[in-house]
Structure 1
Amino acid sequence: MGYPKDLLSSRSVIEHGKYALIAPEGLVNNVIPGFHNCIISILGSPKLGASFVDYYVTMKNGGGNKEGFGGQEEVQTFVYILEGKIKASADEKEFILEESGYLYCPPGVKMHLENKGDEDAKLFLYKQKYRSLEGRKPWVVSGHANRIEYRNYDDMHNVNIKDLLPADLDFDMNFHILSFDPAASHPFIETHVQEHGAYILSGEGMYNLDNKWIPVKKGDYIFMGPYVHQAAYAVGRENLTYVYSKDCNRDAEL
């Protein structure tokens, strides 16, 4: 890039333990053992206050993780394809994942990813410890979000949602895609125990984080901690759409 042409500045806002807006312009690269020909940035993590880790991955031609991602006894993983085409495998099954494709791996199952295309692939990658429940066990899930029908969010015709994982007690988390038509918003400012890591797929908006309105747009990452006020307005000419994680199906621990 060379020297900056103006004063150094950033749209990113960080409130450790509460929330964060991380703009792509400020991301730095991290070396993650097991990955090759990949440019990786760590987004949300316990150091920020999250109980999970989110990554933004640019996987070059021939890049991947031959050693596998996850696979530990308590760790579950998820990947969402933002751009490109990926060959994925888990539990002796293979998947071809294109844009909007995703793969969930339960604890003990390694996720293998490889870019077979000529172009770079862009991935939103996640890991988190699994909270077990007696008699319940999650399984490998794969699909493409573009093949899932939207449904109204809280009976609102201009806000729609997709669930990427089964609404089943075997799973202690889910991934969703939430989409706001231009000028649409949440029905109210939410305050809840769940935390989120969200990557904005399209559009622009204003996001309320801890009762502060912050401008957001495509390519931004948002971390929302437990009990932090949160809501969005979509602005501009296209839908404000993001993919995000949510912990669910478990009681609060003492």
Structure 2
Amino acid sequence: MITPTYFAPHGGMPGQKELMTSRAVVTEAYTVIPRGVLRDIVTTVLPEWQGTRSWVLSRPVAGGAVTFSQTILEVSPGGGSEAPEPQAEVEGFLFVMEGEVSLTAAGQTHTLTPGGYAFLPPGTEWSLTGQGAGPSRLHWFRKRYQDVPGLTPRIVVGREQDVEPSPMPDTEGRWATTRLLDPSDLAFDMHVNIVTFQPGASIPFMETHEMEHGLYVLQGKGVYRLNQDWVEVEAGDYMSLRAFCPQACYAGGDEPFRYLLYKDVNRQVML
């Protein structure tokens, strides 16, 4: 298997002579945060974390996605948290893009490097520490868990490199999904996948569905159709899609177009 590539932000600030024009846009159907927006000035510090700064990509807002938050953490060596999650009813998912972190969950310690991930059920006692010589950069998804009698999610720790991608039907493998959580296990009320398109491949219809999405482009570039708009995206860009936002895409460039995808799943609509 080819070693996967993960683009991670490093902050910094643009020069005073640069144009302020960018592809950033917020609508009632979707939000696009280009990688050039992830600068030092828009980071935040979380009180539960030490030696860490963060870019909050998505949070519940009126007129937007409401089921989850998504944050990029930049953890310095020795930094991290002994008690990261302030809400016992909230589950978490971590995905490492750069560096190395030590994760302890329910008394078991794991080393996560690029491509490493962990699902942490609500109520899990866990901690994380940055390792190595430089900062580590990782995604942290958070969602309030929706209980169902008889279903209890389990801790999952793994690596993308060890999960076989599932080709989509009738695509000859040009569109494939790496499912980081077992799609047949109804205890999970969210999925985090990696979607890969080979150059020129596409989603050939306008998906319109109840699931909200967070999409972070890990590699390559493509063009996304969001509602009525065509939007160019590249590695490091982020898209947040509310429920029922029509969506399709095709991959451009000479390398795979890959993104990290969140969606809410497996639960009845509560009225």
Q: In which range does the TM-score fall when normalised by the shorter chain? A: over 0.9
- Residue among 39, 47, 51 paired with 2:53: 39
Q: Within 5 Å, which residues of 2 pair with 1:90-129?
A: 90-129=105-144
Q: Within 5 Å, which residues of 2 pair with 1:1-254?
A: 1=13, 3-16=15-28, 18-27=29-38, 28-47=42-61, 48-66=64-82, 68-70=83-85, 72-157=87-172, 158-167=174-183, 168-254=185-271
1:142-180 Cα offsets, whole Å, 9 max, x none, are 100111111112331210111101221111111111000
* Alpha-carbon contact 2:65-2:241 (below 8 Å) kept: no
Partner of 1:165, secondary structure, is: coil
* Alpha-carbon contact 2:99-2:137 (below 8 Å) kept: yes
Report deviation, 1:23: 1.2
Partner of 2:206, secondary structure, is: coil
RMSD of aligned C-alpha atoms?
1.4
Aligned mates of 2:36, 2:67 — CA distance in 1: 25
Aligned mates of 2:24, 2:111 — CA distance in 1: 34
In structure 1, the partner of 2:5 is none
* Alpha-carbon contact 2:80-2:127 (below 8 Å) kept: yes
- TM-score normalised according to structure 1 size: 0.95
* Alpha-carbon contact 2:118-2:158 (below 8 Å) kept: yes
Number of residues paired by the alignment? 252
Partner of 2:36, secondary structure, is: helix
Tell me the amino acid that sits aligned with residue 37 of structure 1: G
Partner of 2:203, secondary structure, is: coil
Matched-pair identity in %:
33
Partner of 1:25, secondary structure, is: helix
Report deviation, 1:50: 2.9
Tell me the amino acid that sits aligned with residue 42 of structure 1: V
Aligned mates of 1:132, 1:153 — CA distance in 2: 30
Aligned mates of 2:188, 2:169 — CA distance in 1: 22
Report deviation, 1:71: 6.3
Report deviation, 1:110: 3.1
In structure 1, the partner of 2:8 is none
Partner of 1:187, secondary structure, is: strand
Report deviation, 1:2: 6.7
Unaligned 5+ segments in structure 2 are 1-12
Q: Which runs of 4+ in 1 moved over 4 A?
A: none
Aligned mates of 1:73, 1:3 — CA distance in 2: 43
Partner of 2:161, secondary structure, is: helix
Aligned mates of 2:166, 2:221 — CA distance in 1: 21
Report deviation, 1:127: 0.4
Aligned mates of 1:159, 1:132 — CA distance in 2: 33
Report deviation, 1:211: 2.3
Partner of 1:69, secondary structure, is: coil
Aligned mates of 1:241, 1:143 — CA distance in 2: 19
Tell me the amino acid that sits aligned with residue 19 of structure 1: Y
Q: Residue 235 and residue 89 in structure 1: after superposition, are their counterparts in 2 closer, same or farther (change >3 A)?
A: same
Report deviation, 1:3: 4.4
1:26-63 Cα offsets, whole Å, 9 max, x none, are 23111211111112011110125332110011111111
